[in-house]
Structure 1
Amino acid sequence: MRTWVVRAGENGEREQTALEEGVLLVGWQGLGDLTDVTTREDVKAAVAAAYPDEGPYTVGNWTGQLYRFVHEIQPGDLVVLPLKSWLVAIGRVTGGYEYRGEVTDGPHHVRRVQWLIKGIDRQSIQPDLQNSMGSLLTVFELSRFGAAERVATLAEGKPDPGRPDADEFAAGLTEPTKLYEEVRRRAADEPLTLSIRDFLAVWGAQRRYPAAVEQIKSDLDERGLVTVPPFTEGSIESKIAVLAGGAEPDEAGTSAVTRLTGTGSLTSAVQSAVHAAGHLPDAESPAQTVAYRVSNLESANRMPECVRVGDSVKTAMTLMVLRGYSQLPVLDPDGRLRGVVSWESVGRAHLADPRADLKAATVRGLEADRSDDLLNWIGAIQESGYVLVRDHDHKVCGLVTASDLTVQFGTRVRPFVLVEEIEQRLRRVVDRCIPLDRIRAVVPGRRATRVNSAANLTFGAYGHLFKDADNWASLDWAIDQQHFLTALEECRQFRNDLMHFSPDPVTDDQLLPAQGLLELLRSMDPHG
């Protein structure tokens, strides 16, 4: 079973018909019957023939949506219909694609659906699923974060259960006060542990922006709480423990933090959480700043495949072939690095002695501390292809490769490229359609005289510019003004957040509003 969103028009103009008649309806009135159009290429040809003035991007985009509606959506699938009242309807698809050629004043392309529930408040849906519904496409699939199961639960009138991989208990910590109460309730040897992602969500944050970090630090200090390791370190999926760090010592004169880190009977999850306790800042020292730490990469927190001192060189070679590795760390019984064995080192050792063992084939390996600044290691990783990562006990805890860097920085560059294209398209359409005197009118004071084109506008000025009725009419866009302004404001907020440093990558769901706006701008100006 799959789950889809099928909208009822840009302004919800088809939603009443959809709900009353038990159907899904999409537009594209200029397109004929698609019943016998079976392949994606055939759909594309039909779209291109029906809309000859549209560019390749728009034709491709529309083809994907129509192909989903006609062929990919199956009877039994769930469908979500966002309503203009900010409610949501959920139904189950009961029939195949139909073409209503006899209809003269309404949509021709239809699927039958049984509505299971018609009045779900969007506020009862958790933010990650709401964001997934935020695309401006008419037809798209909800496939992330267990969407199908969650929508099925909502259709039964039950609350959104949240991400299947989320900590169920953490999901109940909806505000700082609840977190404080839970920490106080627990015994020192059973601390509250949760992911950094779930910890940030207690404050309504998704990434570690400086303002959010300072607010959380201030709240923790006020309550005498501390996280072990610091929540500013590690990837966003790393586990931390939340402790009453300011509590007075017990009868033995030890603090909660010392008792926790010195206990040998803790669960593996808690042991992992406290592993970097040695990095706790002195209470009197200045607050640590968030940076690109080596530990911010997930691979730096994932134990790599390895061989141990005393293993045979055949074991190392077998593992490298099976896993497709170029090198393996060689660890001692305590998990500390003793060197690296690679195909090159094995070859050199065997040239000197065909009977060379693992020790002879082991060479020195690069090793970074998980708290090191990642930027300082980029050159070494690019040159050697890797660096091993150690924790505060100097035990190997991860491996960062050049491909990890490529993924990390590729993920970070993507949002900036997306926002830059949005800004370029906005500048071009403004310069082409709106006179300079009206552009200057949205800039206050003397600064207006220094405006020579849209390139001199701030991003926020576009919202003021497009609110004006004359300016909007000059665009001659067949889209809803209010929805466009809302999307523009969401993008402005996303852009502002993006400009504030955070070590955490932007997720696909967080990109959706900006991606939707870009798709809309491309559709309005397909030849750009």
Structure 2
Amino acid sequence: MRAWVVRAGENGEREQTALDEGLLLAGWLGLGDLSDTATRNDIRAAVAAAYPDEGPYTVGNWTGQLYRFVREIQPDDLVVLPLKSLLVAVGRVVGDYEYRSDAADGGRHVRRVEWLVTEIDRQTIQSDLLDSMGSLLTIFELSRFGAAERVAALAEGKPDPGRPDADEFAATLTEPAKLYEEVRRRGADAPLTLSIRDFLAVWGVQRRYPAATEQIQSDLAARGLVTVPSFTEGTLDSQIAVLAGGAEPDESGASAVTRLSTSTGLPSAVQDALHTAAGLSGEIAQSALRSAAARLSGHLPDEEAETQTVAYRVSNLESANRMPESVRVGDSLGTAMTIMVLRGYSQLPVLDADGRLRGVVSWESIGRARMADPDADLEAATVRGQEADRSDDLLDWVGTIQQSGYVLVRDHDHKVCGLITASDLTVQFGTRVRPFVLVEEIEQRLRRVVDRCIPLDHIRAVVPRGRASRVHSAANLTFGAYGHLLKVPENWAALGWAIDQQHFLAALEECRQFRNSLMHFSPDPVTDDQLLPAQGLLELLRSVDPHV
């Protein structure tokens, strides 16, 4: 049994039909019957023919989603439908793919589903599963953290049981003092390892906003602790070790970092970081470790401070930390082609016995090699591949990914550890744009209704006297000023809204705080759960003033 998400349109426009008729509806206006498509290439051809103006990356992305809908989703699989009401529906698939030629365009590609429960409160779903549901794709699998079993529990009316591999001990670290005590209790040779998500939860935060990061770094520095790798790098599910960075050397003169670099059982990312630090020698090593500790604690010497900038790292993308499928030096070209056809890949990395990149084989490189020699082998079809380091600034690679469609990712030992595609960028940055678009619509609606209903002199009354003359409309107000403006009974009455004023103002203040947090850099995406207050306020504004 597998679990999937199938959305009902970008704005939930097919939601009611899905619930009323027991259907999953894939959309894709203008696309014909896919019943006879047996492979990804068949679907790719149908998509390319239906949308001739779309580029290869969009066609590839849509092909993957439709292949899941037509071929991969099976009867008895579970499916999740996020609803506009901010509730969640869960059903069981009961039929194969169907094409309804007599249905309205957008409702022709369907799967039959039995809805088991349609009013699951998102608060009963833990944040990691909600995060997984937050993809902007229409059709995708929930495959991480035991998702299928957890969705099954939700379908039975039970609360989300949480990750099967959840760190129960980490859940006991409810405040920084407990984390400090645990690190001290374990000693230098048995470091505390946990996910960045669990580490942040010790301070009661979910994202690495600058203010939160600065507070955590300051608290760590005060206790002489560091994290390896830095908790500011990697995804929320990356593993880190918390060490006593200032601990004195042992009897052999070795630091905790050096001793731990030869340990087994530590997460690979932690071992990589420890190995890199321990591989340095003498004064260089000590200087590097002091500098690393200072960077992690936020206390850099003045001469080094200017080189430390906030950056969005390659490692912050989930796909950069997921080993891609590959072929090895010495494999046949037929093996590479078979994998590429089966998986719908445009290219595959070619690795040596140590997992290091030796090149890339693609359909283009295969075609060129076969033009020169019909019997060309894998080596002849292998070309140089684009390779980024996990610690590189992601923005430096965006142009390359747009041009070539991908970049491979290497770890500290120069071994391939991930693959970023143009599709990954689209999803990642689309997720990041969504909160800004949502807040912008809220502001636009507030501006328009205030300008229409409230006199200019009342608007100016909530602005400091020295700036009032420069206010010509609601567009000149800060977001926070709307709360002060609508607290005034006369102004509130002018809106004519039949809703509770105090609840609205409370929602407006919560949205103001959310908006302010967006203005500060964080490498972590905003989850659907974190968007709920702003989404709720926007739905309320749309309801009370639908013509704005």
TM-score by length of 2: 0.68
- Give the secondary structure class of the aligned counterpart of 2:546: coil
1:274 aligns to 2:275 (yes or no): no
CA distances 1:117-149 after superposition (whole Å, capped 9, x unpaired): xxxxx9xx99959x99xxxxxxxxxx9995996
Q: Is this contact kept in 2: 1:40–1:63, CA < 8 A? A: no
2:447 is aligned with 1:427? yes
CA contact (8 A) 2:88 2:119 kept: no
Give the secondary-structure state (helix, strand or coil) at the position aligned to 1:197.
Answer: helix
Aligned partner of 2:510 in structure 1 is: 490
Q: Is the 8 A contact 1:300 1:389 kept in 2?
A: yes
Pairing of 1:504-519 with structure 2 (within 5 A): 504-519=524-539
Unaligned residue ranges in structure 1 (runs of 5+)? 1-36, 42-60, 83-121, 133-142
* Residues 87 and 118 in structure 2, CA contact (< 8 A), matched pair in contact too: no
2:227 aligned with 1:230: no
Given that 1:209 and 1:501 are in contact with CA atoms closer than 8 Å, whether structure 2 keeps it comes out as yes
SS of 1:273 mapped into structure 2: helix
Deviation at 1:322, TM superposition (A): 1.4
What residue in structure 2 maps to residue 304 of structure 1?
324
Shift of 1:395: 0.9
Distance in structure 2 (CA, Å) of the matches to 1:126 and 1:192: 27
Match of 2:361 in 1: 341
Is the aligned partner of 1:523 residue 2:543?
A: yes
One-letter amino acid of the structure 2 residue matched with residue 505 of structure 1 = P
Q: Computing the radius of gyration over CA atoms, which structure comes out larger, 1 or 2?
A: 1
- Offset, 1:152: 9.5
Residues 497, 544 of structure 2: 8 Å contact kept: yes
Once the 2 structures are TM-superposed, how far is the Cα of residue 354 of structure 1 from its aligned partner?
2.2
1:302-451 alignment, distance < 5 Å? 302-451=322-471
* Structure 2 Cα separation of the partners of residues 303 and 410 of structure 1: 23
1:197 partner amino acid? R
For residue 151 of structure 1, report the CA deviation from its aligned partner. Answer: 12
| Distance in 2 separating the partners of 1:446 and 1:505 | 39
- Measured in 1, the distance between the counterparts of 2:85 and 2:447 equals 29
Alignment partner, residue 248 of structure 1: 248
Deviation at 1:299, TM superposition (A): 0.5
Secondary structure of the residue aligned to 1:304 is coil
CA contact (8 A) 1:170 1:194 kept: yes
Taking a change above 3 Å as real, the CA distance of residues 354 and 147 of structure 1, as seen in their structure-2 partners, is closer
Stretch deviating more after TM superposition (328-337 or 182-191):
182-191
Show the counterpart of 1:184: 184
Q: Are 1:153 and 1:161, in contact at CA under 8 Å, matched by a contact in 2?
A: no
Corresponding residue of 1:140: none
- Look up the match of 2:501: 481
Looking at structure 2, the residues matched to 380 and 39 of structure 1 have their Cα atoms a distance apart, in angstroms, of: 45
1:77 Cα deviation from its structure 2 partner: 9.0
Separation in 1 of the partners of 2:496 and 2:352? 71
1:193, 1:240 within 8 Å by CA — same for their partners in 2?
A: yes
CA distance in 1, matches of 2:83, 2:328: 56
Change in 2 beyond 3 A, CA 1:78/1:329: closer
The reply to whether residue 197 of structure 1 matches residue 197 of structure 2 is: yes
Write the deviation string for residues 18-58 of structure 1: whole angstroms up to 9, x where unpaired: xxxxxxxxxxxxxxxxxxx96699xxxxxxxxxxxxxxxxx
Deviation per CA, 1:462-492, whole angstroms, max 9, x where unpaired? 1111111111111111111111011001100
Aligned residues: 410
Task: Using the TM superposition, give the Cα deviation of residue 460 of structure 1 relative to its aligned residue in structure 2, in angstroms.
Answer: 0.4
CA distance in 2, matches of 1:304, 1:335: 11
Contact 2:207 2:522 in 1 (8 A): yes
Percent of residue pairs bearing the same amino acid type = 73
How many angstroms does 1:378 deviate by?
A: 0.6
Is 1:488–1:517's contact at 8 Å kept on the other side of the alignment?
yes
Following superposition, the deviation at residue 271 of structure 1 comes to 2.8
Give the letter for the 1:208 counterpart. R
Q: CA RMSD in A?
A: 3.5
The change in CA–CA distance for 1:66 and 1:240 in structure 2 (over 3 A counts) is: closer
Q: Measure, in 1, the Cα distance between the counterparts of 2:340 and 2:239.
A: 30
C-alpha spacing 1:216/1:126, structure 2 compared with 1 (3 Å): farther
CA drift of 1:211 comes to 1.4
Letter of the aligned partner of 1:213 in structure 2?
T
Report the CA distance shift for 1:151/1:226 in structure 2 as closer, same or farther (over 3 A): farther
Query: Does structure 1 residue 168 correspond to structure 2 residue 168?
Result: yes
Query: Given that residues 196 and 238 in structure 2 are in contact (C-alpha distance below 8 angstroms), is that contact kept between their aligned partners in structure 1?
Result: yes
Tell me if the contact between 1:232 and 1:290 (Cα under 8 Å) persists in the aligned partners: no
Residue 214 of structure 1 aligns with an amino acid whose one-letter code is E
Please give the alpha-carbon distance, in whole angstroms, between the structure 1 residues aligned to 2:242 and 2:86.
Answer: 46
Equivalent residues of 1:241, 1:274 under 8 A apart:
no
Tell whether the 8 Å contact from 1:366 to 1:387 is kept in structure 2 after alignment: yes
TM-score of the pair, normalised by structure 1: 0.70
> Does the 8 A contact of 1:382 with 1:402 survive in 2?
yes
Deviation at 1:270, TM superposition (A): 2.3
The Cα shift of 1:153 comes to: 11
Query: Is the CA contact 1:335–1:395 (under 8 Å) kept in the aligned structure 2?
Result: yes
